[in-house]
């Protein structure tokens, strides 16, 4: 059979982004076949994530590899007049310009639709910033860690008697990456219909606030304030939390009455289903302390594996895995969520795959590129520049030195 064509084959995106959120998002596009041209600032050694430890050196790192597989790297100084000429030439033959700069930078660097519509009326300009391109904090830098503080996440994470906590992974960076990709594709869909591009403005703070969801509607409309709940418990559902077992922890989530009935049957405590203190959601919430006093010693009596064997298929439950255990999970492997990337220095790298499963998705991507690895090829093959023109650009300083590496860019 003829291999399926990649679903985004033919889509060209110019990406001026670094670190986590933006590169994470554009990797989704690259994994689906888009040509993502990563424009890197030669004056600072390119994307700063090339230098993030551990396992960093020679302008590359495993951190950088995790966010940039399957992309092309072009060094270009967007502040240089001839660098802007190259940018405009690329915009003419591209579909989108994506950045994850501070909110005040796209306008200054000419990466907005207003600045580029004369070059390509159909270009879609997507910006993912910390705070957006408007508002009093638009010029401020922001990172996942800060946004988890701003958006209230830390206030509801951790134990009640402990300090505020953050999610162990950069959940807002990654959610912002996904949200910006959705916004970008919406813009591209409309441009396909109308021939007219647009600006798409996405921020990490907006993304984080939008994910407050039911916390927000309860807080905004009732006299209610979310708090940190013991054992990572749900704000209102009981039992829905972590329980210590003989050898670890298990997550129990009874979000339906039938699951509560199945739980008490599985743990040999059917009388609890008839106890008026625990017969409804509201009753269990009111009598949470009494119920947990009964449940906790029961879970401590058996191992996590034992409980999973008794509860799976009857009650929503999960082990509290380590990261290594999660990556070795049978379902993760069955879904082919670990792929291999051949790297010239690191050898075969195992990485997590795209969560989007569809015919034509790239399953053997190229590694993340060396700094400026594709500069000459893009200028020659995409823009049809002559060797003399490329040499003149390089001599002008517009392209920088793609071999440059810095310990501290």
Domains 12-211+333-396 and 231-244+249-319 share a fold: no
Are 193 and 113 in contact by the 8 Å Cβ rule? The answer is no
User: What are the average pLDDT values for consecutive 10-residue runs of the chain, which has 409 residues?
Assistant: 85 96 97 98 95 94 97 97 97 98 96 98 98 96 96 96 95 98 98 98 98 98 95 97 98 97 95 95 97 97 97 97 97 97 94 96 95 97 98 94 45
234, 343, 374, 384: the catalytic one is 234
Is 234 designated active site?
yes
Q: What are phi and psi of 109, to 5 degrees?
A: -95, 5
The pLDDT value given to residue 115: 98
The pLDDT value given to residue 4: 84
Written in H, E and C, the secondary structure of the chain is CCCCCCCCCCCEEEEECCCCHHHHHHHHHHHCCCEEEEEECHHHCCCHHHHCCCCEECCEEHHHHHHHCCCEEEECCCCCHHHHHHHHHHHHCCCEEEECCCCCHHHHCCCCHHHHCCCCCCCEEEEEECCCCCCCCCCCCCCHHHHHHHCCCHHHCCCCCCCCCCCCCCHHHHHHHHHHHHHHHHHHHHHHHHCCCEEEEEEHHHHHHHCCHHHHHHHHHCCCCCCCCHHHCCCCCCCEEEEECCCCEEEEECCCHHHHHHHHHHCCCCHHHHCHHHCCHHHHHHCHHHHHHHHHHHHHCCCHHHHHHHHCCCCCEEECCCHHHHHCCHHHHHCCCEEEEEECCCEEEEEECCCCCCCCCCCCCCCCCCCCCCHHHHHHHHCCCCHHHHHHHHHHCCCCCCCCCCCCC
The pLDDT value given to residue 1: 59
| Domain boundaries of the chain, sorted by first residue | 12-211+333-396, 231-244+249-319
- The domain 12-211+333-396 belongs to what CATH superfamily? Crotonobetainyl-coa:carnitine coa-transferase; domain 1 (3.40.50.10540)
Classify domain 231-244+249-319 at the CATH topology level: formyl-coa transferase, domain 3 (3.30.1540)
How far, in Å, CA of 288 to CA of 278, rounded? 9
Structure tokens that stand for 218 in this block? 């309860």
């Amino acid at each position: 059979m003829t291999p399926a064509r990649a679903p985004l084959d033919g889509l060209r995106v110019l990406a001026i982004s670094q670190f986590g959120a933006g590169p994470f998002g554009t990797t989704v596009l690259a994994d689906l076949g888009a040509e993502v041209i990563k424009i890197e600032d030669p004056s600072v050694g390119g994307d700063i994530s090339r230098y993030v430890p551990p396992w960093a050196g020679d302008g590359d790192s495993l951190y950088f590899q995790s966010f940039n597989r399957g992309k092309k790297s072009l060094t270009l100084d967007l502040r240089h007049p001839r660098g802007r000429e190259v940018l405009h030439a690329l915009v003419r033959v591209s579909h989108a310009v994506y950045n994850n700069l501070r909110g005040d930078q796209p306008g200054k660097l000419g990466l907005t639709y207003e600045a580029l519509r004369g070059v390509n009326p159909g270009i879609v300009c997507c910006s993912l910033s910390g705070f957006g391109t408007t508002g009093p904090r638009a010029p401020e830098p922001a990172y996942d860690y800060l946004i988890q503080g701003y958006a209230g996440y830390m206030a509801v994470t951790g134990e009640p008697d402990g300090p505020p906590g953050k999610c162990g992974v950069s959940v807002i960076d990654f959610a912002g990456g996904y949200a910006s990709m959705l916004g970008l594709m919406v813009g591209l869909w409309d441009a396909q219909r109308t021939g007219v591009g647009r600006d798409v403005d996405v921020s990490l703070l907006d993304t984080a606030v939008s994910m407050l969801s039911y916390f927000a509607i309860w807080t905004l409309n009732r006299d209610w304030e979310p708090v940190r709940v013991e054992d990572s418990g749900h704000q209102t559902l009981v039992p829905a939390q972590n329980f210590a077992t003989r050898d670890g922890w298990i997550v129990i989530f009874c979000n339906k009455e039938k699951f509560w009935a199945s739980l008490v049957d599985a743990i040999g405590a059917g009388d609890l289903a008839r106890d008026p203190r625990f017969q409804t959601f509201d009753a269990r919430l009111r009598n949470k302390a009494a119920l947990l006093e009964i449940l906790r010693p029961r879970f401590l009596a058996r191992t996590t594996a034992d409980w999973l064997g008794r509860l799976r298929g009857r009650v929503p439950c999960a082990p509290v895995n380590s990261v290594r255990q999660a990556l070795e999970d049978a379902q993760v492997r069955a879904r082919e969520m670990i792929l291999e990337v051949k790297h010239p220095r690191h050898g075969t790298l195992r990485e997590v795959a795209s969560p989007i499963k569809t015919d034509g998705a790239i399953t053997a991507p190229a590694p993340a590129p060396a700094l400026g690895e594709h500069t000459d090829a893009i200028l020659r093959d995409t823009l049809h520049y002559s060797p003399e023109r490329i040499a003149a650009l390089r001599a002008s300083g517009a392209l920088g030195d793609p071999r440059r590496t810095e310990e501290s860019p």
